[in-house]
Structure 1
């Protein structure tokens, strides 16, 4: 979906509402942790204030992941807010501040699809967890520690510090 700058100028500061559905297959291909996804619905508004163009809103979708710790599949109801500011590429505000978050506009339209896809993908977790306090799998017996408590001793001693363990045994 594209938003025409001329349409925003005619509205004279009045927000232009929009609604768009992003291609779920494209998003799934671009993020290796996404196992499945419902169509992403984005709704928001665009407005021109002075020389700047603002686009803000929210995206929603159900995303299927596999937990990085326990390997159980789960569904996350993702809600991603977005807010972007644009200026024409020849606007002096872009030359004055090279580190600004203002995006340059080429042409007479704001192209939303690729921008929203990028915002959505950046909000997705790199290591998805079914629960924030997921205990994961036991490295010794492989049991899911969220479901069953195992009695394995999983103490790891750094071989560089193993000599210190012997030192403290003698002091007891």
Structure 2
């Protein structure tokens, strides 16, 4: 979906509401951790104030992941807020501050699809967890420690320091 700049100019500061659905298949293909995704619904508004154009709103979708610690499939109800500012390419504000978050406008339209896809993908976790305090799998027996407590001893001792462990055993007697 594209927003025509002339349409925003005619509204004289009045916000233009928009609603669109992003291509879920393309989003799934672009993020390795996404196993499934519902249609991504975008709702927002665009407005022109002075020489700047503002686009803001929310993206919503249900995203299926596999937990990076316990390998359990889970669904994340994603709600991603977005806010972008645009200025014409020849606007002096773009030349003054190169590190600005203001994006240059090319042409007479704001292309929303690519912009919103990037915002959505950047908000997705690269290390998805089913819960913040997920205990993961036991490295010895492989049991899911969120469901069952195992009695494995997972103490790792650096082999270079193993001799020191023997020294402390003798001193405790």
Same fold by TM (over 0.5)?
A: yes
Partner of 1:58: 58
Query: Which runs of structure 1 show a deviation greater than 6 angstroms over 4 or more consecutive aligned residues?
Result: none
State the partner residue of 1:74. 74
CA deviation after TM superposition for structure 1 residue 167, in Å: 3.7
> How many residue pairs get matched?
172
Match of 1:142 in 2: 142
User: Aligned equivalents of 1:62 and 1:40: distance in 2?
Assistant: 8
Partners of 2:71 and 2:84 lie apart in 1 by: 36
| Structure-2 residue corresponding to 1:110 | 110
The Cα of 1:159 is off from its aligned counterpart by: 2.9
Find the counterpart in structure 2 of residue 45 from structure 1.
Answer: 45
SS at match of 1:155: coil
- Cα distance, 1:157 vs structure 2: 1.4
Q: Distance in 1 between matches of 2:36 and 2:107?
A: 35
1:10 & 1:158 partners in 2: Cα distance?
A: 71
* Aligned-partner Cα distance in 2 for 1:101–1:169: 60
Structure 1's unaligned 5+ residue stretches are: none
1:163 to partner: Cα distance? 3.7
Give 1:131's aligned residue: 131
What is the alpha-carbon root mean square deviation over aligned residues?
1.0
Unaligned runs of 5+ in 2: none
Q: TM-score, normalised by structure 2?
A: 0.96
Shift of 1:67: 0.5
Task: Tell me the distance in 1 between the aligned counterparts of 2:148 and 2:87.
Answer: 56
